Structures are given as structure tokens and as C-alpha cells.
Amino acid sequence: MTTTDMLTVQTTLQCGLARAWNAYTAPKAIVQWNFAAPEWHCPRAENDLRVGGTLKSRMEARDGSMGFDFEGTYTEVVPMERLVYAMGDERQVVATFKEAGGLTELTVRFTPDSTFPAEYQVGGWQAILNNYKAYAESAA
């Protein structure tokens, strides 16, 4: 898979870069937004924000019927600018933050998995990003 095969989601936040970055990287914030639908939640998250560190989270259905663990290993960390992490040997995520005029744009590019159609994956990742935006904009 090449970088041209990556899928992209993005959002523009009505907040500054520091708030956007902290909402995206702090475990206590991640659990507030890291799920794609209201029937799901993220009961725990860990984030060792350094090259070689890991991002771990758990997504579960609120009724307890199913859940899964998510894990990535950071290959690049540029504070307040860029995060790159690998999910296994084949998949990669690149998150880029840009601030302009008090707004922050977050673009996330990711290697799709081979299980679900691309449109389904973009929809799920965008739903999570929409939750993130709502949380970051309301966080004090």
C-alpha cells in the first residue's frame, strides 16, 4: 500500500492549536470522543507520546455486546504539528495539525484495512473526528 492509497478525513476546529492538540493526545480527553456512534464508548486510553511509544484505546458497545482494542506505535512525533503511527506492519496513520486565525485544521490520513469498504471506513473515522471536534471545542 502506498501513501496515495491512504484515505483522508478532516475537520476545522473553532479553537486554538494547544487545545486541539491536548484534546487529541491526552488519555482523559481521548475517552470522551473516541467512538463512532452513540451506542459505543471508549472506556480507557493510554498515550505514550514519543517515537516508539504506543497509543492504546478500547472501544466497546455500551451494552457490552462487543468491543475491540486499538493500538499504534509512534514513528514520528512533532508536537503541535504532526503525529505518525503504525498499526502493525501494513497500516499507517498520519495526523497533521495547522493553526490559522484562531482555528485549527486537523487532517488524518490512514491506510485502510482490507475488511471493510473504503466508504465505510471513511464514515467511521469521520464520525470519530466529529466527536473529537465537538469535545475539543467545548473543553475548558
Task: Quick: pLDDT tens for 90-100.
Answer: 899 999 999 99
User: What does the pLDDT read at residue 88?
Assistant: 83
Tell me how many domains the chain contains: 1
Q: Which of 6, 8, 7, 17 is nearest to 103 (CA)?
A: 17
The DSSP annotation for 34-60 comes to: --SSTTEEEEEEEE--STT-EEEEEEE
Q: In what order do the strands lie in the sheet with 40-47?
A: 7-13, 103-110, 91-100, 82-87, 67-78, 54-61, 40-47
What's the pTM? 0.92
Segments forming the whole domain that contains residue 123: 3-36+76-138
What radius of gyration, in Å, describes the C-alpha atoms of the chain? 14
56 lies in some domain: no
How confident is residue 17, by pLDDT bands cut at 50, 70 and 90?
Answer: very high
How confident is residue 1, by pLDDT bands cut at 50, 70 and 90?
Answer: very low
Domain containing residue 85: CATH number: 3.30.530.20
